[in-house]
Structure 1
Amino acid sequence: MRFNKLDLNLLVALDALLTEQNISRAAEKIYLSQSAMSSALARLRDYFGDELLVQVGRKMELTPRAQALQDPVRDILVRVDSTVSAQPDFVPAHSDRVFRLHLSDYTMTTLMPHVLALAYQRAPGIRLELRAQIMHPHRVLERGEADLLIIPKEYCSVDHPAELLLTETFCCVLWDQSPLAKGEMTAERYLAAGHIIVQPGAVHSALEDGFMHKLGIERKVEVTTYSFLSPAQLLPGTNRIATMHRRLAQEAARSLPVVLRDAPVPMPAMEQSMQWHKHRTSDPGLIWLRGLIKEAVVVMDHAHDDERL
């Protein structure tokens, strides 16, 4: 099929080439032979009057024209895929659909056990691929590589719809034998102590660290770690403090010799949201999954409330 003299089948090859920037990998991605992909690239170069991919040293790089095509071509294919693959109905009990979610280890530990338990009851045949958070998470939505993101509101893209899931506060976590665990946790004691903080690596810096910088609060950082789960595990045997998401800290306190204290410095709450591609707003399966996740938040917080009674 052709549109404006372009064979539309070449759009799939073009997307793979622009994404992989390698003829062999692009061919593997869409199940073509390398010679067929080379032929497709030659036809694309002829149509656009541009090299698109050029050899620079040992790798290939996109030309400016190719860079300008990258997002529009992906958007077209995602729009077509969401239109063609959308089912008029979604029957959870009979579905074997795969849902791909990007989330942090905070969400993995606190919320996802409740999501999976509800999903197992109502849709035992569905599969969930839980993937690590990445820098610029909206890009995996736009490439059609994720169905849903669960991320802080600050990191949501303005180009796609999002919905607030929960509000999270922060607290101090300390080894229960530390002198800091006794008496009032004042701002002076907090700032004088050594701290364990999270620097998630490839993703954005931790929100609580960003809050501290905005408020002009300088902590004495003695340990940095890449995981939101690990600070509480690194506290026992030390007089250090970790400032953690409260729900995650409560999970840690179940099994570790740690205690929780209110933060003595002003800490804005984190607003955790879920985001999906604008072309998939009416997808019945995603509508069901989003509703299930919101229900899981209620179940999670009821469980925490029961523990405090």
Structure 2
Amino acid sequence: MTLPDLNLLFALDVLLAEGSVARAARRLRLSPSAMSRTLARLRDATGDPLLVRAGRGLVATPRAEELRRQVGTVVQDAEALLRPVRLLDLSRLDRIFTLRTNEGFVEEFGPRLVARVGVDAPGVRLRFAPKSDKDMMSLRDAAIDLEVGVAGETGPEVRIQALFRDRFIAAVREGHPLGEGVVTPERYAAGRHVSVSRRGRERGPIDEALSALGLQRTVVCMVSGFSAALAMARASDLIASVPERHTEGARAGMHSFALPVATMEVTISMLWHPRLDADPAQRWLRERVREVCSASRRTINAT
């Protein structure tokens, strides 16, 4: 009985991840014709076309989608078996780790993370990349070590671990009329609001919740970040609705209260490529992120 060529697993992993013979060839440093021959061998081995032409591109067959969920783990395990075990000497570790996240996470958790990392590994530097780099930098090509945020649609090759849940609250300056008494949906909606939207959207989940009660808030300005929204609310009578845990420090000296309408909580997670699973330095970094995120648990009481 002829044994299968296990090298095909690595090619299959890259082909299914890229969905393109040309891009897979570049990643594996092969010529397009050599990559096409490899795809032909994979088709013979699996008895399935795997990638079929659709317009100018290729789409995965149902069998390929099934294999995509398995081959990444197999390749990762194989790489871990062949990687020499090394003890991590944090005192000598000299690396730059790139974390992609939003400004709220950097402002609230960044200083504690830098301090915590510095205790163990003074030679490590952290680079916080903005979410605007999402199209230019990816987990797959090693431009990003770790991403922190709300996990959207991700491929099977991405690892996800929840860090904490966050909810939206409202913040106003000290002495604001909403600082006293019960904040009803009507009182909240009647105020003047500053909203946060990186894409310039005028409506969001809070507006939908108010609309279900027959209410509409007046948004007089929009900004792209929570810090800017809080700065404006601190210096005026505007109401800023912001995530609680992401803005704990930025809201110091302001009056915060629970929203008088129900909105969904969001789960903040960290995401990384499975090729980094077994790397001792990467595992140490992820543990420090978890540690820092679990340190603060203060909440705002409902009114």
Unaligned runs of 5+ in 1: 135-139, 303-309
Quote the residue 1:186 is aligned against: 183
Find the aligned partners of 1:91 and 1:113 in 2 and give their Cα distance.
Answer: 23
Task: Extract unaligned runs of 5+ from structure 2.
Answer: 133-137, 299-303
Letter of the 1:117 partner, please give it.
A
Identity of aligned residues (%): 27
CA distance in 2: counterparts of 1:148 and 1:239, whole angstroms: 38
TM-score by length of 1: 0.66
* 1:166-177 alignment runs, 5 A limit: 170-174=168-172
Residue 290 (structure 2) pairs with residue 288 (structure 1): no
Counterparts in 2 of 1:80 and 1:95: CA distance versus 1, 3 Å: farther
Q: 1:1-309 counterparts in 2 under 5 A? A: 5-85=3-83, 87-96=85-94, 99=97, 101=99, 103-126=101-124, 128=126, 130=128, 150-151=148-149, 162=161, 170-174=168-172, 180=177, 184=181, 186-187=183-184, 188-198=186-196, 209=205, 213=209, 220=217, 222=219, 227-233=225-231, 235=233, 239-252=237-250, 259-263=254-258, 265=260, 284-297=280-293
Distance in 2 (CA, whole Å) between partners of 1:56 and 1:33 is: 22
**Residue aligning to 2:301:** none
Residue 72 of structure 1 and its aligned partner are, at CA, apart by: 0.9
**What is the deviation of 1:162?**
4.7
| Cα displacement (A) at 1:110 | 1.0
Q: Aligned-residue CA RMSD in angstroms?
A: 4.9
Cα distance, 1:34–1:272 mapped onto 2, change above 3 Å: closer
Q: Distance in 2 between matches of 1:144 and 1:229?
A: 30
- CA positional deviation for 1:245: 2.8
Give the distance between the partners of 1:278 and 1:214, measured in 2 at CA.
Answer: 42
CA separation of 1:80/1:234 partners in 2, compared to 1, >3 Å: closer, same or farther?
farther
Q: 1:128 to 1:211 in 2, by over 3 A?
A: farther
Change (3 A) 1:109 1:212: farther
Q: In the superposition, relative to structure 1, how do residues 145 and 270 fare at CA in structure 2: closer, same or farther (>3 Å)?
A: same
Greater helix fraction, Structure 1 or Structure 2: 1
Runs of 4+ with deviation above 6 angstroms: 140-147, 152-156, 266-271, 275-283, 298-302
* Normalised TM-score (structure 2): 0.67
Distance change (3 Å), C-alpha of 1:6 and 1:301: same
